[in-house]
């Protein structure tokens, strides 16, 4: 029997951590940058099966043209992000998994030719047609999870939803892309909210935003009032803490609902969508526009930290160059923020759908020491877990026992290792533990 030791000991669940924000690009308006001359598009830009290429070397393609189709089930299509010629299929190291993956390269022609888009009035579309347009656009969760959106919003009759929770927390340090999107494009986000409320047959939507983003809160409240969506749509100012943006943390903070271990928000009638995902849904359903670009924060040790609207497949170097280049002492690049970001092995790593930030920094090289049993990781964990046990069990090879400590409840937020005095990369051990436990048949 699984036992929650913290509950037995009467230990109060942590409220997360409060790392410095470093939101240096918060006041920089979104800039659309020119289309890159060349893009590299990995076939795995989402959770699930890789997309299957349907173009070949020498083909001429237009922006928005489907170049790799969904393999069915949990998968998502990929579209050309520039117009030009397809080069021979290649293999690259995935910027998200670190594994070799096939990729399509397109050499641009500089013309930015688009496919013909087919707009529609959402009010005239059936639920099936809305889901089809979301799926055809290749939309995945843009908050970082990259789960195919059409699967998440296509609720079966026996699993109805009652609340749409809109995630505008953006709790990671440095990242400001969602903040700027809420300030500059609240109507697009609300258009996506209205589409999903109709699709899900819910009468309630809550937009959760951390209270350290007053301009975003004001912008969204004004847009809700202007659209006369209150009280069915409300904006909730949430305490600024990390990891407020994690689904389970936000659900607990906003709705007071605890998602059981192994369960999903949808099991409880709650659908969570990131604000950028909702804007993409509006683009797809109303304008027929595939997902080919997103707002990305390029920040850290760059000359001009910025929020850029950029096409997928552009390299990290190309993005950094758009911001005036990087400092001489910079030697590390993350896709994402400092807490959950993924280190990139090369400047050639391409922007993918889940990349909301390119963080340029100087590597913080510390020597890992033995655990001193200080208990900070337990105090910091927002899920009420015991991260130190994961480290010790993985090191000792006690993989089967990891399930006794609710391993799969971990959201890998990194709060545990934020100020670990032994410099232990706890999340790395957790990832290893999860992978090995799954191999042994453990359920996630």
Query: What is the full per-residue pLDDT of the chain (444 aa) written as tens digits?
Result: 344 444 444 444 546 799 999 999 999 999 999 999 999 999 999 989 999 999 999 999 999 999 999 998 899 999 999 999 999 999 999 999 888 999 999 999 999 999 999 999 999 999 999 999 999 999 999 998 899 999 999 988 888 899 999 999 999 999 999 999 999 999 999 999 999 999 999 999 999 999 999 999 999 999 999 999 999 999 999 999 999 999 999 999 999 999 888 788 998 999 999 999 999 999 999 999 999 999 999 999 999 999 999 999 999 999 999 999 999 999 999 999 999 999 999 999 999 999 999 999 998 888 999 999 999 999 999 988 999 999 999 999 999 999 899 999 898 999 999 889 999 999 989 989 988 998 887 665
Asked if residue 80 is part of any domain, the answer here is yes
DSSP string of 15-31, one letter each residue:
--B------TTTTS--E
Same domain, 106 and 130: no
Domain end residue (candidates: 361, 388, 412): 361
Nearest Cα residue to 45 out of 89, 93, 78, 73: 78
Which residues contact residue 324 at a Cβ distance below 8 angstroms, ignoring those fewer than 6 apart? 302, 303, 304
Domain end residue (candidates: 313, 334, 361): 361
- Between CA 145 and CA 139 the distance in angstroms is 12
Same domain, 277 and 142: yes
- Between CA 273 and CA 267 the distance in angstroms is 15
Same domain, 140 and 249: yes
Asked if residue 23 is part of any domain, the answer here is no
Same domain, 41 and 112: yes
Same domain, 257 and 126: yes
Same domain, 187 and 258: yes
The pLDDT assigned to 15 comes to: 61
DSSP string of 369-415, one letter each residue:
-------HHHHH-TT---HHHHHHHHHHT--GGGGGGTGGG-----T
Asked if residue 24 is part of any domain, the answer here is no
**What domain range is 47 assigned to?**
33-117+290-361
The answer to whether 379 and 14 have CB atoms below 8 angstroms apart is yes
Same domain, 259 and 280: yes
- Between CA 351 and CA 310 the distance in angstroms is 9
- Between CA 162 and CA 314 the distance in angstroms is 39
Asked if residue 27 is part of any domain, the answer here is no
Same domain, 255 and 224: yes
Asked if residue 25 is part of any domain, the answer here is no
- Show the tokens assigned to 28: 């920089």
Asked if residue 12 is part of any domain, the answer here is yes
- Judging by beta carbons within 10 Å of its beta carbon (0-12, 13-18, 19+), is residue 281 exposed, middle or buried? buried
Q: For the chain, how many residues are written? A: 444
The CATH number linked to 41 is 3.10.20.600
Same domain, 247 and 152: yes
Provide the domain count of the chain: 3
Asked if residue 65 is part of any domain, the answer here is yes
Give the residue carrying structure tokens 């021979």. Answer: 88
The pLDDT assigned to 365 comes to: 80
Domain end residue (candidates: 311, 341, 361): 361
């Amino acid at each position: 029997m699984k036992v929650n030791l913290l509950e037995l000991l009467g230990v109060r669940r942590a409220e997360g951590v409060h790392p410095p924000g470093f939101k240096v690009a918060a006041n920089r308006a979104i800039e659309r940058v020119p289309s890159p001359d060349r893009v590299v598009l990995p076939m795995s830009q989402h959770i699930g099966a890789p997309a299957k290429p349907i173009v070949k070397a020498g083909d001429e393609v237009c922006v928005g043209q489907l170049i790799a189709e969904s393999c069915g089930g949990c998968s998502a299509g990929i579209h050309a992000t520039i117009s030009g010629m397809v080069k021979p299929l290649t293999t690259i190291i995935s910027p998200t998994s670190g594994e070799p993956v096939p990729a399509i390269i397109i050499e641009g022609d500089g013309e930015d030719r688009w496919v013909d888009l087919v707009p529609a009035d959402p009010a005239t579309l059936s639920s099936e047609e809305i889901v089809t347009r979301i799926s055809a656009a290749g939309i995945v969760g843009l908050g970082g999870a990259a789960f195919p959106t059409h699967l998440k919003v296509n609720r079966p009759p026996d699993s109805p939803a009652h609340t749409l929770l809109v995630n505008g927390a953006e709790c990671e340090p440095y990242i400001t892309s969602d903040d700027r999107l809420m300030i500059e494009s609240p109507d697009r986000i609300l258009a996506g909210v209205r589409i999903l409320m109709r699709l899900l047959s819910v009468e309630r939507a809550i937009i959760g935003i951390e209270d350290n983003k007053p301009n975003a809160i004001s912008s969204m409240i004004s847009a809700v009032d202007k659209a006369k969506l209150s009280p069915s749509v409300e904006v909730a100012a949430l305490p600024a803490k990390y990891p407020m943006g994690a689904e389970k943390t936000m659900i607990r903070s906003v709705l007071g609902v605890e998602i059981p271990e192994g369960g999903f928000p949808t099991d409880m009638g709650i659908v969570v969508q990131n604000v950028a995902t909702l804007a993409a849904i509006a683009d797809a359903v109303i304008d027929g526009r595939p997902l080919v670009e997103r707002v990305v924060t390029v920040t850290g040790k760059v000359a001009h930290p910025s929020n850029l609207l950029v096409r997928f497949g552009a390299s990290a170097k190309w993005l950094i160059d758009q911001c005036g280049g990087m400092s001489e002492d910079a030697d590390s690049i993350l896709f994402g923020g400092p807490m959950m970001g993924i280190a990139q092995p090369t400047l050639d790593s391409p922007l993918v759908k889940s990349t909301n930030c390119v963080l340029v920094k100087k590597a913080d090289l510390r020597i890992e020491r033995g655990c001193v049993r200080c208990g900070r990781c337990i105090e910091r964990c927002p899920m009420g877990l015991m991260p130190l046990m994961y480290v010790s069990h993985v090191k000792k090879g006690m993989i089967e026992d990891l399930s006794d400590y609710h391993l799969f409840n971990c959201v890998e937020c990194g709060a545990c290792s934020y100020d670990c005095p032994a410099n232990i990369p706890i999340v790395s051990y957790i990832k290893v533990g999860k992978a090995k436990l799954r191999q042994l048949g453990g359920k996630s």
